[in-house]
Amino acid sequence: MAETPGVDDLRRAWDEQADRWIAWARRPGHDTYERWHRDAFLPILPGPGRLTVDLGCGEGRLTRYLRSAGHRVVGVDGSPRLVAAAHGADPSGPVLNADAAALPLGDGVADLVVAFMSLHDVDDLDGAVDEVARVLVPGGVLCVAVVHPLNSAGTFRSRAAGSEYVVEGSYLGGRRYADSIERAGLGMTFHSLHHPLQDYTRAFERNGLLVEALREPAVPDEAVRDDADRRWQRVPLFLHLRARLGEGTS
């Protein structure tokens, strides 16, 4: 993981990586999403309601799944190229190109917002959560998956299964980083912001979003391919949160 100070336009960075991400996300079995992550996330999701917003939908893989499960979904992403790919893969519903902190949706129109692996990839976390609260109905739900703050704060010493895990620098405070990965002939650079857990919960608290579920899913045995994967059975890769907008808040 390389820290990249002085650059704050994550929307542009992800648009530049769009073609690589589409190839990465759509190769069967290549990514954690298909191998185990989506299925670990689904238990915190409520069932279909009147409208679900897929915030940071990327090339649309979760949007497509949610539609197949009966949700009426609007996808939103900051990358024009990813929005085009999502719409091309499934033109049955709207996919909007927009900043997460300026959603082109009315007040109180959704009963569910899903932000799967996206809130750590937006330039303005507080603004994005403000907008989530605005578009949710009172009692509506936000379900989030992010890179676990412990993951983005540290690193393993080696690829051995029992390798020591070390937090380098400061856990507290946000910072931009880039994680470049080569796997099975595909390369991808993930551009993100490290946030301590309190950055998320403070944004929720300010908007009356009450956390009612928190999960740190372990990589299941069936998804482990080598010792490098097995390390992540001791330290969480991802963090899952479900928060509900308080009645009378909107």
Instruction: Specify if 176 maps to a domain.
Output: yes
Identify the pLDDT of residue 214: 98
Phi (first) and psi of residue 226, to 5 degrees: -160, 180
Low-confidence residues of the chain, pLDDT below 50? 1-7
Task: Evaluate whether 203 touches 112 at the Cβ level (below 8 Å).
Answer: no
Q: What is the pLDDT of residue 169?
A: 79
The CATH number assigned to the domain holding 41 equals 3.40.50.150
Instruction: Answer whether residue 125 is part of any domain.
Output: yes
Q: Which residues face 156 on adjacent strands?
A: 165
Residue-wise pLDDT tens digits, 175-223: 999 999 999 999 999 999 999 999 999 999 999 999 999 999 999 999 9
| 223 backbone φψ class: left, alpha, beta (φ>0; ψ -120 to 50) | alpha
Q: How many domains does the chain have?
A: 1
Write the CA distances from 192 to 13, 49, 115, 153, integer angstroms.
9, 31, 14, 12
Who contacts 11 (Cβ-Cβ below 8 Å, separation ≥6)? 78, 79, 99, 122, 123
Predicted local distance difference test score (pLDDT) of residue 7: 41
Within a domain: 73: yes
Residue 97's contacts (CB-CB under 8 Å, 6 or more residues apart) are 76, 77, 78, 79, 80, 83
pLDDT at 138: 97
Q: What do you get for the CA distance between the two ends of the chain, in Å?
A: 38
Predicted confidence at residue 25, as pLDDT, reads: 96
Predicted TM-score (pTM) of the model is 0.94
Q: Is 225 left (phi over 0), alpha (psi -120 to 50) or beta?
A: alpha
Q: How far apart are CA 247 and CA 137, in angstroms?
A: 9
Residue 39 domain-assigned (yes or no):
yes
Q: Which amino acid is at 44?
A: I
Domain housing 127: 2-245
pLDDT of residue 5: 38
For residue 250, is it within any domain? Answer: no
d(CA 83, CA 81): 5
Give the per-residue pLDDT at 93. Answer: 92
Q: CA 66, 28, 239, 169 torsion: positive or negative?
A: negative
